[in-house]
Amino acid sequence: MGTRDHSSGFEELSVSECQELLQAKSVGRVGVCTSEGPQILPVNYAVVEGDVVFRTTSDGPLASYASDQVVAFEIDEADEFLQSGWSVLMVGTAHLVDESSELKELLDWGGPQPWAPGNRTTVVRVAPTRLTGRRVHLV
């Protein structure tokens, strides 16, 4: 279990709690540095062997700027009425999946399924180097 500060309603999540939350969700945001500055883009994702995997277009910013670069990946949930929520941040190196056997396996498996339209057959895999999370709630 993570570290909890009972006086403030703030809790740092353990790595295993962060992994559980990553497994439970399917929409997150990827942060990349582009020639025009930072961009944060939503993606549908899946967790495969601890890595985050998502599909994108071959000519989009995620394929162009995430390949072999350090990226940020974030998921969260918030309840404004209860003033509570959590967030998980994963930092890692993104790689375009180009090995045909791995690519075929991921595409045959079917996941993740993008909600956005278009030909999203470029698969990006992010291997985590850091995984952190926080939870906040009223005391």
Residue range 112-132, pLDDT digits in tens: 777 676 777 788 999 999 999
Give the DSSP H or E segment for 29: strand 27-34
- The pLDDT > 70 percentage for the chain reads 83
Task: Count Cβ atoms within 10 A of the Cβ of residue 90 and give its class: 0-12 exposed, 13-18 middle, 19 or more buried.
Answer: buried
Of the two residues 139 and 76, the one the predictor is more confident about is 76
Q: What is the CATH number of the domain that holds 113?
A: 2.30.110.10
Domain residues for the domain of 94 are 3-136
How many Cβ atoms are within 10 Å of 62's Cβ, its own excluded?
24
**In 76-122, which residue ranges form alpha helices assigned H by DSSP?**
100-109
Report whether pLDDT(110) > 70. no
Residue range 80-98, pLDDT digits in tens: 888 899 999 999 999 998 7
Q: Which residues contact 46 (CB under 8 A, 6 or more apart)?
A: 26, 52, 53, 54, 111, 112
**In 43-130, which residue ranges form alpha helices assigned H by DSSP?**
61-65, 100-109
Determine how β-strand 69-79 pairs with β-strand 3-5: unpaired
Contact 53, 90 (CB under 8 A): no
The Cα diameter of the chain in Å comes to 53
- Mean per-residue pLDDT, 56-64: 87
Confidence of residue 99 (pLDDT cuts 50, 70, 90): low
- Mean per-residue pLDDT, 106-111: 64
Confidence of residue 109 (pLDDT cuts 50, 70, 90): low
Average pLDDT, the chain: 86
Give me the number of domains the chain comprises: 1
- Mean per-residue pLDDT, 72-81: 94
Residue range 15-48, pLDDT digits in tens: 999 999 999 999 999 999 999 999 999 999 999 8
Rg from Cα positions in the chain: 16
